[in-house]
Amino acid sequence: MLLMLTLVTVALVVFALAGYLTLVAISLVRASRSVRAIADGLEIVQRHTRPLEEKLVTINGAVTALRDGLAAADDHLGRAAQVFRL
């Protein structure tokens, strides 16, 4: 009787562990698919944003020129304000 109860208990533990391990394996497969989808999406984003570097260099150069022009205009206006004592 005790042997039978021990075998039933061992069988229940083995089946429970097998069930949990199966659920863990299924979860890992789903996570792997999700990570793969995210990686594919990031590669697409990288391809789509690659041309931005060239355009941002051009924009940065134009903004720098604008900043220099505005600084010169500010300097001239400061001198004019001194002349007119404003």
**Of residues 85 and 20, more confidently modeled:** 20
pLDDT at 54: 87
In tens, the pLDDT along 14-64 reads 999 999 999 999 999 999 999 999 999 999 999 999 888 889 999 999 999
pLDDT at 53: 86
pLDDT at 85: 85
pTM passes above 0.85: no
Query: Comparing C-alpha atoms, which of 34, 33, 15, 35 is closest to residue 23?
Result: 15
Query: Comparing C-alpha atoms, which of 36, 39, 57, 35 is closest to residue 47?
Result: 39
Per-residue pLDDT at 86 exceeds 90: no
